[in-house]
Amino acid sequence: MMVFQGLSPLAGAVACAVGTSVLIFLHFLKVRNPGLKIPSIMLWRESCVHPRRQVLWEKLARFLSFLPPFLFIFCLCGALTEPVWDRGGGRKLVIVTDASGFPAAVRLLEHADPLRSALVLASGGGVILSDFGAPRRPLLLPEKIVSDDADAVVALAERMAAPGGLVCWTGSKLPPWLPENSLFIRSGKKAVPKTPRKKVKIALPGASPRFSAAVALFPGVEVTEAPGKADLIFSLRANGTDISAEETAIEELWALLMRSGLLLPEAGQVGTGPAAPPVLPERRAVSLTVPLFLLAFTALAADILLWRKRKTV
């Protein structure tokens, strides 16, 4: 799947068409060498003057000379659209927010993988504020927010994150239900403890006891059974059998929270966080912007070189 993070594909196509048209127009407007009359060109041309054989290559070469400038324009316009070849894979993150959790959601979004993250406003049936791979622009909270149909929004987020993606809900009100592999950040309460003594309450519904016990060992973290009182709710797989998947999901979300500053490790509390740096899923997307720029300027260099070479005796 190709994702364009810069100019839209339509704008790129228009720019390409305009550039090509200008090039063709300039070609016809090109100031021709007026020619210099001299007594004789005998010494300037090949001693053996035969009628030029119009071999296939000579016919093609005339058209091939247009190739580098056209390639330059195509590649330049293509590079300006900042295309990313998404080969699939990786874990998607869908951030759902209501009005109160909007700042936290934006901070999370800024630190998430642009290709893998989307922001959905829990308004009505859900409004996608930023889709996967969309260019990062400053986001403002829409003025008109209708009463949300939370069920529909959760379903939308789960659908967007599928398969195997994560849903992160920020807001003051707990959604009616949380899909598997989801995180709820209560924005009404401070996720970042102001005083060192206050611990972050984490609820882990659906997690295995072994995993809950492991999380409870984190300094500054208190595992609670009551989701209504928790600052963070990690909703893991219901069956609780896939421990490694749970760990991976927790690590990803934890790393994201740390990066975004929503959960800062402070001295004596979450000082170390996870023992090992979070292992993020391999990003299987390739940005084509730089190769296209390189190709464009290579074409430009080739055009200049050919232009110099073909004007020989």
Q: Which residues bind another protein (CB under 8 A)?
A: 33-45, 47-49, 308, 311-313
The distance of closest approach from Cβ of residue 53 to another protein in the complex, given in angstroms and rounded to an integer, is 16
CA dist., res. 248 & res. 236, Å (int): 11
Token pair belonging to 22: 């200008």
Q: Give strand ranges (E) for 236-280.
A: none
Residue 199: count of CB within 10 angstroms of its CB: 17
Cis bond leading into 163, ω under 30°?
Answer: yes
Measured from the CB of residue 50, what is the shortest distance to another protein in angstroms?
Answer: 10
State in angstroms the smallest separation of the CB of 283 from another protein.
Answer: 49
Nearer to another protein, 144 or 311 (CB): 311
Which one, 53 or 194, has the nearer CB to another protein? 53
Residue 51 or residue 163: which is nearer to another protein going by CB? 51
Containing 257, the helix (H) or strand (E) segment is helix 243-260
User: Is 91 in contact with 279 (CB distance < 8 Å)?
Assistant: no
Beta bridge pairs of residue 202: 223, 232
**CA-to-CA distance for 128 and 136, rounded, in angstroms?**
14
Smaller CB separation from another protein, 286 or 305: 305
Secondary structure class of 223 (helix, strand, coil)? strand
CB nearer to another protein: give 194 or 308. Answer: 308
Least distance in angstroms from the C-beta of 49 to another protein:
5
